[in-house]
Amino acid sequence: MLLQEDGCARVFKSEKLGEAEIYSSFANSLSVEYAGGTYKSKEFSSDSGYGIRVLNGGRVGFSHANLEKDVGKCAKTAKSLSRFSPKTGFSFEPAHASYPKAETFDSKAAELEPELAFSAIEEILQEIKGHAEPTRVSIGFMEGMERVSNTSGVEAESRHSYVSVYAEAKKGTGLGFSIYSSCFLPDDFGKLGEEAGKIAAAMDKSAPLKSGNFRVKFSHQALSSLLGFMLFHFDGDNRRRGISTLKSGEKKFCESFTLISDPLAKADAACPFDGEGAPSAPIDLVREGRVGGFLYDRYTAALEGVEAGGCCQRSDYSSLPRAGITNLVIPAGEIPESEFPQDYLEVVSFHGIHTSDPVSGDFGVDVDIAFLHKEGKRKIPVSNMLLSGNVFNLFKRIEAIGKEQHTHGGLVSPEIWFSGVHLIGK
């Protein structure tokens, strides 16, 4: 259980902390894995703890503890460590009368039932076997809660669930996979196996194309990777340090492109408040091709001397809070399915984005799963090609945006086609 409001108040008072904040969280999880023709593991795990920040003379100290009985000691440590941090105008999030609603909890997933996990894997395996050989399937269920309390009056609490699925298949030299992540159970586990199996079967006959410039549509997974790479420049700390080259209001992208960081969207990073207790609200990162806002937590904003916040993220209770993204939303365009481009290269999967240069935006990735579409249908499986370019130039060359949004993990986006994308093959 988390330390409740009265418990936090006792710590604040008894330790004479002055201004302080307690972030607490717990998570219970179940993971099941199938590989090599058998079930490899079934594991339950649990983790909980407290992250404490103390503001002492304009300086912030941080410490963490696993047990409630150690919270007081942890607070003293945080206060002592504050002397090593720079003096800023930082203050904790003020109190709020209410918080918006965010869809974050699936009661069925939160039951952590092994029977559900095993039956889901069996559904996935059955569908894979209709097309290819299953190599690995893993499923994870998680339920938890997080709470933020501070001496300014913030009292925020949220319960959440999480579901992750990975299905992998092979046929000959072909490999295929499917990934799912959400706060909610999928409507059909079998479809994930079908997708992995069909891709593996198709990729058994894949080959690179001749080098050239292509019209390209990225899968939601691939598009999410590209956006994550680009978001380096929307990090408030990178802007503060002069690493980001973007400026608010700058025309940097195609006019049809808008990108929103929206923690209230129904996707896997939904939350009613940020890691400091600020009410969740959408932020326009790009609006009709122009740079909008940047992602700040209160401490980063204080270091820069600007008024900003609302984007604090915590990977867990033991990590320092910092600015980060939640869900990314790209609004629907105007192109109906009947008018979708008919000839293009669909890039399903690539790897190597982590070796690219986020400062310049230049990237090069190895495309391992792609399909050449002719007359609107998948015709030729493609692999072993190098896709290179600049991420800012890429998002200047948007050719078409579909009318219907789809959700993949933390990305809500329609289908998007880009023109003149350079790939090196034969």
pLDDT band at 378 (very low <50, low <70, confident <90, very high): confident
**Among residues 339, 187, 191, which one has the least CA distance to residue 179?**
191
| Strand-pair category, 344-351 with 212-218 | parallel
What DSSP character marks residue 92?
A: P
DSSP secondary structure of 338-349: GGS-SSEEEEEE
Give the pTM. 0.94
In contact, 426 and 386? CB cutoff 8 Å = no
Q: What is the pLDDT of residue 362?
A: 97
Q: Are 24 and 2 in contact (CB under 8 A)?
A: yes
Q: 180: which 2 tokens? A: 């799912």
Which pLDDT does position 337 carry in this prediction? 86
Read off the tokens for 127. 């569908």
Measured CA to CA in angstroms, residue 404 lies from 116, 163, 185 at distances of 31, 24, 21
Cα first-last separation, the chain: 59
Residues for the chain: how many in total?
426
Handedness of CA 231, 250, 263, 416 (dihedral sign): negative
Mean pLDDT over all residues of the chain? 95
Taking the C-alpha atoms of residue 313 and residue 83, their distance in angstroms, rounded to an integer, is: 24
Burial grade of 238 (CB within 10 A; 0-12, 13-18, 19 or more): buried
103 burial type by CB count under 10 A (0-12 exposed, 13-18 middle, 19+ buried): middle
The span from the CA of 200 to the CA of 131, in Å, is 8
> Residue with structure tokens 């990237």?
363
What backbone torsions phi and psi does residue 189 show, to the nearest 5 degrees?
A: -65, -35
Answer whether residue 187 shows pLDDT above 70. yes
Residue that wins the pLDDT comparison between 132 and 7: 132
Residue among 121, 228, 122 nearest 180 (CA): 121
Per-residue pLDDT at 1 exceeds 60: no
The answer on pLDDT for 289 being more than 90 is yes
User: Residue range 16-30: average pLDDT?
Assistant: 91
In this prediction, residue 13 carries a pLDDT of 67
pLDDT tens for each residue of 320-353 = 999 999 999 999 999 988 899 999 999 999 999 9
What's the average model confidence in pLDDT over 228-237?
Answer: 97
Q: What is the mean pLDDT of residues 198-211?
A: 96
In Å, how far are 84, 241, 248, 277, 284 from 305, measured between CA atoms? Answer: 19, 12, 17, 20, 21
Which SS3 state, helix, strand or coil, does residue 13 take? helix
Per residue in 36-59, pLDDT tens?
999 998 999 999 999 999 999 999
In the predicted structure, residue 376 carries a pLDDT above the cut 90 = no
Say what percent of the chain tops pLDDT 90.
92
Q: Once rounded to an integer, what is the mean pLDDT over residues 276-284?
A: 98
Q: Which two structure tokens, joined as six digits, stand for 4?
A: 């409740």
Tell me: pLDDT of 397 over 90.
Answer: yes
pLDDT at 18: 79
Closest CA to 237 of 149, 332, 301: 301
Interatomic CA distance for residues 174 and 194, integer angstroms: 15
Q: Domain-by-domain residue ranges, the chain?
A: 5-201, 208-426
296-328 confidence digits (pLDDT tens):
999 999 999 999 999 999 999 999 999 999 999
| Percent of the chain at pLDDT exceeding 70 | 96
Give the pLDDT band of residue 223 (cuts 50, 70, 90). Answer: very high
More confident residue, 18 or 161: 161
What kind of fold does domain 5-201 have according to CATH?
PmbA/TldD fold (3.30.2290)
